[in-house]
Structure 1
């Protein structure tokens, strides 16, 4: 039987530090801090709500990150 995969590490990072940044800058900083998956979404996007270890989500409006959450 194959071993269970190891989930990506989740950095010890405060999502609020990305608020007010340009999405490109926030994505670059998040990747540098160790997030394995970073995605930027427009406000009101329909997304699934499953939790993904190591993923950081941004909601951006008018060229700025307005919301950030883990998973």
Structure 2
């Protein structure tokens, strides 16, 4: 039987630290900290909820990140 693969690790980062940033600054910071997939969303967006390792989601309203979560 093949070994069970070990999934890659999430960056050691605090998603709440992105709240208040403009989307461009948030994206630059996230890439520098090791996030590989970024998703900027308007409030109330209908999104898929599968967990993607290395993905950071930004809810952007009025040109600022108002919510941020991983996966």
Other-structure match for 1:59:
59
Following TM superposition, by how much is the alpha carbon of 1:39 offset from its aligned partner in structure 2, in angstroms?
Answer: 1.1
Q: How many residues align?
A: 70
Cα-to-partner distance string for 1:13-44 (whole Å, 9 max, x where unaligned): 00010000001100110001000101100111
Q: Give the TM-score normalised by structure 2.
A: 0.87
RMSD: 1.7
Q: Give the TM-score normalised by structure 1.
A: 0.87
Following TM superposition, by how much is the alpha carbon of 1:62 offset from its aligned partner in structure 2, in angstroms?
Answer: 0.2
Which residues of structure 2 form unaligned runs of 5+? none
Which residues of structure 1 form unaligned runs of 5+? none
Following TM superposition, by how much is the alpha carbon of 1:9 offset from its aligned partner in structure 2, in angstroms?
Answer: 3.4
Query: Is contact 1:8-1:36 (8 Å) kept?
Result: no
Looking at structure 1, the residues matched to 28 and 13 of structure 2 have their Cα atoms a distance apart, in angstroms, of: 14
Other-structure match for 1:35:
35
